């Protein structure tokens, strides 16, 4: 019960933080150009801003205003609105509710004013109709009904306004005055005032609630300033004590950012779905909103038809296009995709019977999708190209998810084979997932190469798919080698060499794919869609996937070659010596058919001693130096170099 209560409170808090995201989404949708002509599209300011001024004919003042001052002013206003919205979004729940109450009360003033204006206009028009036409009884009846509706509505608005502003309720006289202000236009419009007075009655009566709202706002500015200052001091002290990443992680969890983004995108999707159905189906008088008769042709960048989609997919295509048209929408989609990938990871962990393993499927997938969206400029593409690019990003994301699944499966296969686990169902589950990681990428490659023309994106997907196939085959071969070693009666000394060569082959292929992807990305950067984010990701790829892997592989090769040279210098034990010894290898505890003799006269398997020499040059039993002469020689060489 307590767990459900916590989840419910988290959900409510997340819902309260969703509205600021819609404001940010509209700001990003407008490109940080605040629409000044929102209230009047015919005013002089809007007409001047929308004109194209010729530099040869226009004067300097107008040219400066239209080309510099006006866009800069719009950007600054949008930027300030963005900061205020972000500030509201990170407030505590208590302060957030207070802000919402204030905004709702202000919007209620606007709604009350509009309803009073409409009612006064209706009464004025009806009285004019009564003076010039017949049917007075019907007119009086409609006026009475409109009066009752308006009075009831204004009473509700007045009481809600007082409830949302406790300052008004504290003063009984002010409370009654505010209620009268909401109701007075419905009464004063029946008095014999001139028409210009009647038309301005709603404006004059709403001035008192507006003044009260402004007073409440200005009186709370010191408290808001103090709250912001306290938050700034807290963040500064936290960063000084624990660092900026710790602060970001704490606030990320405290504000429930992933849940908020997910709710925002789902609500946004439902809104766009309703709008699409209303515009494309109800206007055509279609009984079934999804019963389309048309088909949609999905085309590539080159104009080739990839597939003819069923008509229902037209709506899905439109929703996916609008679902990533702004940066905030991309973040919301990223959060949802991260959640879906995390559930896919849990599904594979359930199949593999892994409980303690957590590879953060959702986090890695979300970061990858967001990077792909940014480096491909997803929000700035045309609708058709955006949809194609989004589908391609999904394809790349899923191939990357296959690599994450392999990173979970590979240690499980090694554990099952090396520990000789007798649970056959665990082996069967692991082999089923292994087959999926081989068959699905093959099917994907065949489908993509048949349906699409060759491109840099297709080469990248092919490289990712082939890489996961090679890695999976390498893991399976090593898995079966360990199983084969289990059923052998004698010690298999060549097993380590086979495993090393197979893994080296897999690492070499993976390294070659990394170099290929680097050059493929360089081609995209210079000839297709260059961006700073893509260049940065290429640098990261070159360092971690090429340079670090090459350095690690070369280091392992040198260690192995050095160990082999050292082992070859040791004498081999004779069969008679092993028969007289009648002992096992102290490293692997297996019977010795062949062995190497150290300078301290201890016997070990050659392969076991070689693995030991990867780490240190001391005997596993007596800890004496295995190569004192070589150690002394190396020390003398180092002293000579220093000298």
Q: Is the pLDDT of residue 603 over 70?
A: yes
- Pick the more confident residue, 61 or 265: 265
For the packed helices 195-205 and 93-132, what is the interaxial angle rounded to 10 degrees?
170
Q: Is the pLDDT of residue 580 over 70?
A: yes
Q: How confident is the model at residue 461 (pLDDT cuts 50, 70, 90)?
A: very high
- Pick the more confident residue, 367 or 288: 367
392-406: average pLDDT = 92
- CB distance 21 to 89 below 8 Å: yes
The predicted pLDDT at position 267 comes to 94
Residues 431-460 have pLDDT tens digits of: 999 999 999 999 999 999 998 888 888 999
The predicted pLDDT at position 571 comes to 82
The predicted pLDDT at position 13 comes to 86
Q: Is the pLDDT of residue 391 over 60?
A: yes
The predicted pLDDT at position 462 comes to 93
- Pick the more confident residue, 493 or 474: 474
Q: How confident is the model at residue 298 (pLDDT cuts 50, 70, 90)?
A: very low
Q: Is the pLDDT of residue 107 over 80?
A: yes
Choose the weakest-confidence range: 178-187, 308-317, 366-375, 573-582: 308-317
Q: Would you call 597 helix, strand, or coil by DSSP?
A: strand
Cβ-defined contacts of 571-574 (< 8 Å, 24+): 571/596, 571/597, 572/596, 572/597, 573/597, 573/603
The predicted pLDDT at position 234 comes to 87
The predicted pLDDT at position 541 comes to 83
Q: How confident is the model at residue 468 (pLDDT cuts 50, 70, 90)?
A: very high
Count of residues in the chain: 643
What is the DSSP secondary structure assignment for residue 591, as one 8-state letter? B
The predicted pLDDT at position 247 comes to 86
337-351: average pLDDT = 92
> How many angstroms separate the CA atoms of 131 and 133, rounded?
6
The predicted pLDDT at position 165 comes to 81
The predicted pLDDT at position 59 comes to 53
pTM score of the predicted model: 0.78
What is the DSSP secondary structure assignment for residue 290, as one 8-state letter? T
The predicted pLDDT at position 393 comes to 92
The predicted pLDDT at position 2 comes to 65
Q: Is the pLDDT of residue 405 over 80?
A: yes
- CB distance 169 to 163 below 8 Å: yes
The predicted pLDDT at position 642 comes to 42
What's the token pair of residue 607?
């392969």
342-368: average pLDDT = 84
> How many angstroms separate the CA atoms of 136 and 143, rounded?
10
Q: How confident is the model at residue 601 (pLDDT cuts 50, 70, 90)?
A: confident
Residues 174-192 have pLDDT tens digits of: 788 888 888 888 888 877 7
Of 98, 241, 75, whose CA–CA distance to 250 is shortest?
241
Residues 203-243 have pLDDT tens digits of: 888 888 888 888 888 888 888 888 888 888 888 888 888 88
Q: Is the pLDDT of residue 288 over 50?
A: no
Q: How confident is the model at residue 595 (pLDDT cuts 50, 70, 90)?
A: confident
The predicted pLDDT at position 39 comes to 39
Choose the weakest-confidence range: 224-233, 379-388, 621-630: 621-630
The predicted pLDDT at position 329 comes to 93
SS (HEC) of 494-511: CHHHHHHHHHHHHHHHHH
Q: How confident is the model at residue 574 (pLDDT cuts 50, 70, 90)?
A: confident
Q: Is the pLDDT of residue 389 over 70?
A: yes
E strand or H helix at 140: helix 136-164
Q: Is the pLDDT of residue 483 over 60?
A: yes
Q: Is the pLDDT of residue 108 over 60?
A: yes
What percent of the chain is modeled with pLDDT above 90? 19
> How many angstroms separate the CA atoms of 599 and 39, rounded?
93
Q: How confident is the model at residue 293 (pLDDT cuts 50, 70, 90)?
A: very low
- Pick the more confident residue, 126 or 365: 365
The predicted pLDDT at position 640 comes to 45
551-555: average pLDDT = 85
The predicted pLDDT at position 638 comes to 45
Average of per-residue pLDDT values in the chain:
80
- Pick the more confident residue, 294 or 405: 405
581-595: average pLDDT = 77
Q: How confident is the model at residue 60 (pLDDT cuts 50, 70, 90)?
A: low
Q: Is the pLDDT of residue 257 over 80?
A: yes
> How many angstroms separate the CA atoms of 382 and 392, rounded?
15
Q: Which residue has the tokens 């600054």?
A: 76
Q: Is the pLDDT of residue 348 over 60?
A: yes
The predicted pLDDT at position 639 comes to 41
Strand partners, 584: 591
Q: Is the pLDDT of residue 50 over 60?
A: no
């Amino acid at each position: 019960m307590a767990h459900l209560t916590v989840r419910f409170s988290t959900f409510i808090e997340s819902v309260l933080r969703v509205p600021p995201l819609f404001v940010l989404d509209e700001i990003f949708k407008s490109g940080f150009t605040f629409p000044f002509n929102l209230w009047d599209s015919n005013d002089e300011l809007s007409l001047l801003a929308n004109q194209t001024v010729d530099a040869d004919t226009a004067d300097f003042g107008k040219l400066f205003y239209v080309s510099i001052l006006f866009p800069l002013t719009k950007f600054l206003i949008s930027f300030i609105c963005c900061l205020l919205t972000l500030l509201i979004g990170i407030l505590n729940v208590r302060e957030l509710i207070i802000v919402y109450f204030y905004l709702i009360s202000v919007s209620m003033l606007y709604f009350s004013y509009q309803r009073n204006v409409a009612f006064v206009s209706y009464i004025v028009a009806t009285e004019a109709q009564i003076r010039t036409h017949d049917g007075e009884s019907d007119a009086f009846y409609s006026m009475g009904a409109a009066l009752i509706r308006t009075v009831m509505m204004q009473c509700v608005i007045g009481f809600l306004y007082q409830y949302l502003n406790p300052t008004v309720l504290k003063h009984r006289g002010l409370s009654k005055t505010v209620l009268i202000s909401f109701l007075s236009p419905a009464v004063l419009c029946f008095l014999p005032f001139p028409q210009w007075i009647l038309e301005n009655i709603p404006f004059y009566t709403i001035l008192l609630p507006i003044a009260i709202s402004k007073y409440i706002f200005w009186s709370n500015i010191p408290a808001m300033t103090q709250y912001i200052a306290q938050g700034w001091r807290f963040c500064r002290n936290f960063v000084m004590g624990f660092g900026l990443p710790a602060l970001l992680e704490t606030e990320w969890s405290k504000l429930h950012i992933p849940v908020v983004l997910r709710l925002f995108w789902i609500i946004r999707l439902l809104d766009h779905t309703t709008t699409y159905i209303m515009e494309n189906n109800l206007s055509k008088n279609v009984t079934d909103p999804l019963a389309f008769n048309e088909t949609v042709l999905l085309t590539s960048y080159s104009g080739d038809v990839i597939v003819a989609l069923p008509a229902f997919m037209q709506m899905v295509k439109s929703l996916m296009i609008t679902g990533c048209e702004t940066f905030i929408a991309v973040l919301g989609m990223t959060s949802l995709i991260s959640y879906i990938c995390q559930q896919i990871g849990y599904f594979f962990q359930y199949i593999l019977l892994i409980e303690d393993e957590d590879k953060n499927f959702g986090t890695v997938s979300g970061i990858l999708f967001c990077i792909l969206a940014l480096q491909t400029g997803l929000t700035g593409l045309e609708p058709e190209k955006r949809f194609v690019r989004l589908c391609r990003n999904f394809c790349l994301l899923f191939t990357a998810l296959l690599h994450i699944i392999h990173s979970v499966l590979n240690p499980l296969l090694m554990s099952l084979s090396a520990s000789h686990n007798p649970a056959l169902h665990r082996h069967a589950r692991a082999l089923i997932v292994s087959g999926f990681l081989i068959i699905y990428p093959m099917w994907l490659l065949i489908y993509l190469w048949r349906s699409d023309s060759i491109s840099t994106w297709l080469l990248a997907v092919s490289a990712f798919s082939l890489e996961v196939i090679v890695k999976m085959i390498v893991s399976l071969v090593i898995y079966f080698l360990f199983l084969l070693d289990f059923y052998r009666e004698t010690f298999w000394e060549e097993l380590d060499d086979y495993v090393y060569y197979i893994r080296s082959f897999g690492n070499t292929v993976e390294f070659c794919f990394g170099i290929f992807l680097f050059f493929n990305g360089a081609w995209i950067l210079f000839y297709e869609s260059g961006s700073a984010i893509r260049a940065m990701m290429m640098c990261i790829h070159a360092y971690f996937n090429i340079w670090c892997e090459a350095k690690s592989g070369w280091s392992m090769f040198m260690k192995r070659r050095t160990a082999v040279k050292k082992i070859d210098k040791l004498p081999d034990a004779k069969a008679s010596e092993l028969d007289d010894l009648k002992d096992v290898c102290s490293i692997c505890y297996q019977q010795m058919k062949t062995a190497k003799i150290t300078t301290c006269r201890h016997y070990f398997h050659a392969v076991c001693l070689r693995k030991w020499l990867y780490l240190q040059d001391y005997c596993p039993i007596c800890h004496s130096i295995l190569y004192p002469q070589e150690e002394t020689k190396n020390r003398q060489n180092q002293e000579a170099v220093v000298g």
